[in-house]
Amino acid sequence: MSALPPASPRAQRQVLILAHKLLSERGEANSLALARELLGKIARLPPDALAQLFERLAQDFNPDPQAVLAAAQAYAATPNARALLQLTRVSEPPRQELFRRLNRAPGATGLLVRLRRSLLGGLSSHPEWRCVEADLLHLFSSWFNPGFLQMRQVDWNSPAQLLEQIIRHEAVHEIDGWDDLRRRLQPDRRLFAFFHPQLPEEPLIFVEVALLPDMPAGIAPLIDKASATMEPSKFKVAVFYSISNCEPGLRGVSLGNFLIKRVAEHLQREIPRLKTFCTLSPIPGLLAWLRTEPALEAFAPLLKKPQLERLRAARELLRQACGGEWARLSQLQPLAALDGEAQAALQRLCAAYLLACTALPDGDPVARFHLDNGARLERINWMGNRAPKGLQQSCGMMVNYLYDLAKIEGHHEAFTQGEIAYSRAVAALL
């Protein structure tokens, strides 16, 4: 879109006129024709005109305040179904119905996702657009319900365009070209992508799996493109080592609910000898949390007094070990120089961070994803990721989350109530 010339005021007016006309149209055939025409005009808008469109959507397509007030008062006076339905009808922003009608046109779903991507990019400097963003998020949460997503296995024979997208969108462990991708698609690896029926050629999210004899403690052997392929007879553990979202326009839309369970069940049918399903996951928020030197008193309701004292002692020991410069814990040499007590202190703080902070809205995003999907915090691995990104985010630490297929729903329900499932090994760190 950036290569397009600035939109004329006439073109912008035409978009708004068509939007109002589409909302007022009653006939299905005419509505579809208008949606197609409007879709084409929006697709040709350059960034400056998109910004103007977002402004108008935020200002001109809101509920009528007087109608909402009257309906709310009527419902308060007579809280019956009729009054509630009327309140619901008049309080819904007309933007939502506009987006619904526009979505009837072929190709509209992809366009709306791209529109939201652009909108999110300008949201920080245009807070008034948040009402438009809220409406799109509300609609996308229904349209991209995980139940609609189709799972496909990706292999070396998949279309080149799809393989290129996998390389481009890998967000956890960068794929270093075609040889690297080929290794990740060998018989002891699996890659599954999820698609929406309206975007059949665009993966929304994909998960990479390694088939191993044991639960791994480090990522390097899993992504070594020169490693030998393992014999199928040794497959006992399925390790989910990378999950990547492909579409920024769907940020905040929950695509992953029980995604791993679907993959695990598929693998269990394919390879019945697989008994253990786990992850090897980063902890992207750990070092940033350590550098804030958070008040550990906030953990008091969650930890017993001796645990809290050990946590304070661990932080002080680690602070002294890095000379008060927490950033040194993002460097390989200072980390390798830590003695056993300092290593144990870092693991203890990591366990506390994951157990006490993950249930909070700003908790570690990877931990929130897996625990909300029904996993159990199983093991914390010292120096599991020596790559620069792993060091800078989590002092090289990595986590195994265990997916017990019989307990996923229970763990998920518990997490929604603020409870985290964790192993005895993690408990012992505290």
**pLDDT tens digits along 155-201:** 999 999 999 999 999 999 999 999 999 999 999 999 999 999 999 99
Question: Are 240 and 209 in contact, with CB atoms under 8 Å apart?
Answer: yes
**Inter-CA distances, 42 with 28, 133, 147, 202, 310, Å:** 21, 17, 30, 21, 59
Quick check: 144 pLDDT over 80? yes
Q: In this predicted structure, which of 215-219, 296-300, 313-317 has the lowest mean pLDDT?
A: 296-300
Give me the catalytic one of 169, 173, 196, 370. 370
Of 122-126, 150-154, 258-262, the poorest mean pLDDT is in 258-262
What one-character-per-residue DSSP string does 163-187 give?
HHHHHHH--SS---HHHHHHHHTST
pLDDT digits (tens, 9 = 90+) for 67-86: 999 999 999 999 999 999 99
The pLDDT of residue 146 = 84
Average pLDDT, the chain: 92
pLDDT for residue 6 is more than 60 = no
Which of 118, 281, 330, 394 is labelled catalytic?
Answer: 281
Could you tell me the end-to-end alpha-carbon distance of the chain, in angstroms, rounded to an integer? 53
For the cut 90, the answer to whether the pLDDT of residue 361 exceeds it is: no
DSSP 8-state symbol, 4: S
What pLDDT does 3 receive?
A: 45
Q: Of the ranges 83-92, 217-226, 255-264, 400-409, which one carries the lowest mean pLDDT score? A: 255-264
Residue 313 in this model has a pLDDT that exceeds 50: yes
Q: Is 370 a catalytic residue?
A: yes
Q: What are residue 191's phi and psi, to 5 degrees?
A: -140, 125
Known active-site residue 169: no
Task: With cut-offs at 50, 70 and 90, classify the pLDDT of residue 7.
Answer: low
Task: Please say if the pLDDT value at position 398 is more than 80.
Answer: yes
What's the mean pLDDT in 357-379?
A: 90
pLDDT at residue 272 greater than cutoff 50: yes
Determine the Cα angle at 99 with ends 94 and 103, to 5°. 150
pLDDT in tens, 22-52: 999 776 667 899 999 999 999 999 988 999 9
Domains identified in the chain and CATH numbers? 9-143 (1.20.140.90), 147-279 (3.40.630.180), 286-429 (3.40.630.150)
Give the model's confidence band at 298: pLDDT under 50 very low, under 70 low, under 90 confident, else very high: confident
What is residue 259's predicted lDDT score, i.e. its pLDDT? Answer: 85
How much of the chain exceeds pLDDT 70, in percent? 97
